[in-house]
Amino acid sequence: MSEADLKPSIVAAYKRLLGPLVRILIRNSVSFPEFSEIAKEVFVEVATKDLTETDKNKAEGRVAILTGLTRSEVSRVQEESRSRKDYESQLNLVLRVLTGWHTDPDFTGPYGLPLEVPFESIDTRSFSELIRRYTDATPTRALLDELIRLEVVSESANGRIKVLTRTYFPKRDSPESLDRLGRVVCDFVGTIDFNRAEPDTEKRLFERRVSADAGLRESDVPLFHAYLRERGQFLLEELDDWISKRTPLEEHEKATSVQTGVGVYHYFESDN
């Protein structure tokens, strides 16, 4: 099937995909002109990354052809993109700290339970050492204050620090919740796109769905929700433990490491 034959299907798929995303934009007062500028930037960015070595010698003209924008528009978008500093959330940093606290043998006790630790200590079991191992964040005290604000850790009167959760879900209106939205949707769509393009079924990434063919009784939904939360969390923690038990990367291996993971989600079908 040719690209021209696929175009109506692609447009229909993107219309469905954009429904919930546009709803989020409208709810947060992002207008169509603002969205249009974002779309232009992404078109230019993706087209630029996909250029061959030959094309890079005439990049601006080639990107204009691929995106349908004028050369002057491509130049403007690229210049504005270079001059703007994108927002950096604390989401990944928080997740790295929580993973380390729940999987590192130095920070877990009997039955794998995370230990309460002092802020500083002469041995390896301290909050400062945990931060040093799993982040490049400084200063440590400022990060602790942020984790307390996010309600993922608490500090007792005697100065010992306790982790309160293994999974961090940002509050609805926080910048971190929108960062999570972007990362989760991007990863999932990337998996679907990779599998569409990969002809070898053995090399395709794992992606499955299970659904109630005729639907569920409304009274069964809370039961399914509770069951999924229990079993899904167990699966993710088991996978997290497996990953954490791999031999730590040597410094020279980090440049070639692969960022990978697994996501599980519960959905309800809607009109969008």
Q: What mean pLDDT comes out for the span 126-151?
A: 86
Sign of CA dihedral 43, 91, 143, 249: negative
Measured distance CA(70)–CA(63) in Å, rounded: 9
Tokens for 138, please give them. 């400084």
Measured distance CA(59)–CA(98) in Å, rounded: 43
Only one residue has tokens 């990779």, namely 194
pLDDT score at 4: 61
pLDDT at 53 over 70: no
Give the domain ranges of the chain. Answer: 3-83, 91-163, 175-256
pLDDT score at 169: 79
The better pLDDT of the pair 70, 170 is held by: 70
Measured distance CA(2)–CA(46) in Å, rounded: 22
pLDDT score at 44: 93
**What's the pLDDT band for 82 if we cut at 50, 70, 90?**
confident
Measured distance CA(134)–CA(115) in Å, rounded: 16
pLDDT score at 201: 93
pLDDT score at 54: 59
pLDDT at 25 over 80: yes
CA neighbor of 62 nearest in space, from 49, 77, 79, 81: 49
- The model's pLDDT over 4-15, given as tens digits with 9 standing for 90+, comes to 678 889 899 999
CA distances from 266 to 17, 69, 171 (A): 17, 39, 18
All residues at 6 or more sequence positions from 200 whose CB lies less than 8 Å from its CB, including other chains: none
- The model's pLDDT over 176-225, given as tens digits with 9 standing for 90+, comes to 788 888 889 999 999 999 999 999 999 999 999 999 888 999 999 999 99
The letter for the amino acid at 108 is T
- CATH second-level architecture of 91-163? Orthogonal Bundle (1.10)
The better pLDDT of the pair 259, 3 is held by: 259
pLDDT at 226 over 60: yes
pLDDT score at 245: 82
Average pLDDT, the chain: 86
* Percent residues over pLDDT 70 in the chain: 92
pLDDT at 114 over 70: yes
**What's the pLDDT band for 163 if we cut at 50, 70, 90?**
very high
- pTM for the predicted model, two decimal places: 0.67
Cα 183–Cα 184–Cα 189 angle in degrees, nearest 5: 100
- The model's pLDDT over 30-52, given as tens digits with 9 standing for 90+, comes to 899 999 999 999 999 999 887 76
Tell me how crowded residue 175 is: count the other CB atoms within 10 A of its CB. Answer: 13
- The model's pLDDT over 227-236, given as tens digits with 9 standing for 90+, comes to 999 999 999 9
All residues at 6 or more sequence positions from 240 whose CB lies less than 8 Å from its CB, including other chains: 99, 102, 103
All residues at 6 or more sequence positions from 272 whose CB lies less than 8 Å from its CB, including other chains: 16, 19, 20, 23
Q: What mean pLDDT comes out for the span 58-67?
A: 85
pLDDT score at 89: 67
Q: What mean pLDDT comes out for the span 129-154?
A: 86
